[in-house]
Structure 1
Amino acid sequence: MTTTKSARELAEAYFTAWEAGDFETLRGVLAEDVDFAGTLGTASGVEEALAGLKGLGQVLEKIEVKVRVAEGDEAITWFDLHTSVAPPTPTANWMHIRDGKVARIRVTFDPRGLLAGFERQN
């Protein structure tokens, strides 16, 4: 018997895997043609999306979820992104689920702290 995860469960799996650096689990959550658009860039397809998540994962320390709201095939997660290069960054992530996978992701936050932190690293 195949069980399809809800939008809430997929969002939770996505963030848990990303925070743990478990990119194989993340790959299993994302649709092959996942479409990502965020403050720091865009990605088309699972390989580009994983590359972006791995890149930010290099400075990721913790994801502190404040609230997750899900309805039907949509989930929004509001969280503080804790990194080694910037103060915690309040972030909103919206996901659309199609055929049991994350197919579309939109992310927004104020990038100034992260950009300044990246600049200091260089």
Structure 2
Amino acid sequence: MNAHSAATETALAYFHAWSGHDVDKAMAYIADDIVCESPGGRIEGADAYRAFLEPFVGIVTGTRMLAAFGDERTALVMYDTSTLPVTSAPAAELVTVRDGVITNSRIIFDRLPFPPPPQ
């Protein structure tokens, strides 16, 4: 595992985009056919992923990267976010990267303090 692998660089660029409240830039790192497994359920496709990401980015008040590492195809990032509902919401995200975009994501976080996902 390497902190400077291709997948890790993509995962970090994505993290810095959404944590900087730039959803359009973050979505540039998301594949059209992304599949995401989250505590709120399975999300398929870029439009559904954007509908998941945008409300979250809107309540983020701060972020702190805790760790990031990976290989050429996968990366794991762990970060802590401050949000309007909670001051500390740690999360881990395992992503698969193909051709510079995230094709799969598995996000682990405590969903309880957050609003329910869109139906």
Equivalences, count: 112
Contact 1:34 1:45 in 2 (8 A): yes
Higher helix share: 1
Partner of 2:57: 57
Contact 1:35 1:43 in 2 (8 A): yes
What SS does the aligned partner of 1:26 have? helix
Which consecutive unaligned segments of at least 5 residues does structure 2 have? none
Partner of 1:74: 74
What SS does the aligned partner of 1:58 have? helix
Normalised TM-score (structure 2): 0.85
Normalised TM-score (structure 1): 0.83
Shift of 1:87: 2.8
| Structure 2 Cα separation of the partners of residues 27 and 86 of structure 1 | 25
The root-mean-square deviation of aligned C-alpha atoms, in Å, is: 1.7
Partner of 1:33: 33
Task: Please tell me whether Structure 1 or Structure 2 has the larger radius of gyration of its CA atoms.
Answer: 1
Partner of 1:24: 24
Partner of 1:85: 85
Quick one: higher RCO (CA 8 Å, sep 6+), 1 or 2?
2
Q: Where do 4+ consecutive residues of structure 1 move more than 6 Å?
A: none
Letter paired with 1:88? S
| Structure 2 Cα separation of the partners of residues 20 and 109 of structure 1 | 20
Which consecutive unaligned segments of at least 5 residues does structure 1 have? none
Partner of 1:15: 15
What SS does the aligned partner of 1:102 have? strand
Shift of 1:55: 1.3
Shift of 1:62: 1.6
